[in-house]
Amino acid sequence: MPTSEAPALVWFRDDLRVADNPALTRAAASGRPMVALYVLDEVSPGIRAPGGARRWWLHQSLTALAADLARLGIALVLRRGAAGAIVPALATALGAGLVTWNRRYRAAEIEVDRAVKAELAAKGHAPESFQAHLLHEPWSVRSKVDEPFRVFTPFWRSACAGAEPRAPLPAPARVRGLQTVPASDRLEDWALTPTRPDWSGGIAAAWTPGEAGAAARLKTFLDDEFAGYAERRDRPDLPSTSRLSPHLAFGEISPFQIRRAACHAVESGRSAASRRDLDKFLAELGWREFSYHLLGQFPDMERRNIQPRFDAFPWQPDPELLAAWQRGRTGIPMVDAGMRQLWQTGWMHNRVRMICGSFLVKHLLQDWRAGEAWFHDTLVDADAASNPASWQWVAGSGADAAPYFRVFNPVLQGEKFDPDGAYVRRFVPELAGLPSAYLHAPWTAPAALLAAAGIRLGSTYPRPVVDVAAGRDRALAAFDQLKSSQ
Ligand code: FAD
């Protein structure tokens, strides 16, 4: 066949979208007949299988992507197994003249991609990879002395001082689909969605996975929720943040698209958001970039303390305490509300993630890795970089971490960030009848008030699994022990 008739294979991974997808755009521009591939790889060494919530989302997102690609005339082939074997084999079977993908950044994934690239190149399949998931690739931001950063503020200042991130790409308009499509798995056979029991109802009600859902979420945020972001973003009781994180995690929308749309909304005056709101929002996207920057330096940070001195921390593993935390039955309303929001909707507000994380690690002295693993399984936005980096930030073992001795008081945090108690009342309905003054510390309420609200502590709602003040003292004592053991 003439060279230009040798097909182009586009390998989709964390980029389940057709707009601003450089790998797809490159393949379309080649003029070759095209086919798309997604590989569910749970077997390559070091690959971390998606948790339950992400598996549910993946099913929906692949369904949406297949439909979007079909509208362009491109088939999506699904295969399950080791990507390192599947991609080159399919390229060879097709006689591919071009194979494209967008880069990913976990060490095990980089390893797979490097090997695939070498094999494809050796066999003449012309592999090409692109930047799409991050505004700044982990190795591209360097200090004046040519080192990576370990502290966020100078990292972000340096990143922002560099070249402006590129404009997002439109979805390709003219493509040629491959006529004879290779065999594909059936998505249903991957059993990504839960059946017995089907716990996905709350998650399904809260989200619209897929590229169109991501674009709609961005539009609603910019039109209705962006103004006041700098002030309101810590309030879990308000629609105060974008809730774009799962869409970003699956690449249904790119940071380039979000950045450009947010800047345009403010600069054109279309949004009532201020310059300060914009800078704060972009800095949060910056924390995502910084997490990947750390992942580049600490490839095993999902398992290992970034600060090795924390290896000697005297954790006190306790399965019952861990289970109470996971189920939202600690007796601390703000913690329980957060953990139930996570279980019901697959997502938790950032401020509450910090409160719940701090409570687990400090008040309960449970290893941050137990919290990270639970979040990995239950978050729809569970992210290879942001989840471990944030847990290490909370635990104090991270690079630019909250100091260990700063222990969040979950009662005061609740009173400050959920002042009317709307958030707790929504997720801990058994406390709904309690006046706001006692809602975040029901054990301090007079017996008559508890009775009037239908609450029996220890029966309808747990007593605190730990005394808040004593738990703080115990955490500080454990930290002192760590310091004196160094
Ligand atoms: P917005 O406030 O609208 O921010 C916009 C985007 O910026 C987010 O979608 C997200 O991509 C990014 N972002 C915002 N805050 C942070 C942050 N602190 N760190 C990194 N990126 C940020 N985020 C994840 O995407 N995946 C995770 O697995 C994850 N695990 C976390 C675990 C803990 C213990 C903590 C404290 C935070 C974690 N975060 C994680 C960060 C943060 O909580 C979420 O990104 C945020 O709540 C997502 O909501 P949003 O999209 O409305 O954020």
**pLDDT, tens digit (0-9, with 9 covering 90-100), for 434-476:** 999 999 999 999 999 999 999 999 999 999 999 999 999 999 9
- 420 annotated ligand binder: no
The pLDDT tens digits of the residues spanning 253-312 come to 999 999 999 999 999 999 999 999 999 999 999 999 999 999 999 999 999 999 999 999
Is 17 within 8 Å of 43 (Cβ atoms)?
no
Q: Residue 34 phi/psi, 5° resolution?
A: -120, 150
Which residues, 6+ apart, have CB-to-CB distance to 417 below 8 Å? 234, 235, 236, 237, 351
pLDDT of residue 407: 94
Residue having the nearest C-alpha atom to atom 7 of ligand 1: 285
The pLDDT tens digits of the residues spanning 311-358 come to 999 999 999 999 999 999 999 999 999 999 999 999 999 999 999 999
Shortest-distance atom of ligand 1 to CA 379:
28
- 427 annotated ligand binder: no
pLDDT of residue 174: 85
Angle at 79 between CA 95 and CA 201, to 5 degrees: 150
Q: Which of 111, 128, 137, 284 is catalytic?
A: 284
CB distance 225 to ligand 1 below 6 Å: no
Q: Is 315 a catalytic residue?
A: yes
Q: Which of 190, 315, 415, 443 is catalytic?
A: 315
Nearest residue to 399 via CA among 410, 388, 409: 388
Percent of the chain with pLDDT over 70: 99
Q: Taking the CA of residue 29 as centre, how many other CA atoms within 13 Å lie in the half-sphere pointing to its CB?
A: 10
The pLDDT tens digits of the residues spanning 240-249 come to 999 999 999 9
Substitution site in 390, 393, 397 for ligand 1 pocket (most atoms within 8 Å of beta carbon): 390
Shortest-distance atom of ligand 1 to CA 291:
20
CA distance 422 to 426: 6
pLDDT of residue 2: 58
Residues in the chain: 486
Residue having the nearest C-alpha atom to atom 14 of ligand 1: 284
Q: Which of 111, 287, 415, 430 is catalytic?
A: 287
Averaged confidence pLDDT in the chain = 96
- 229 annotated ligand binder: yes
CA distance 386 to 255: 14
Answer whether 0.80 is exceeded by the pTM.
yes
Q: Is 368 a catalytic residue?
A: yes
Nearest residue to 386 via CA among 255, 200, 233: 255
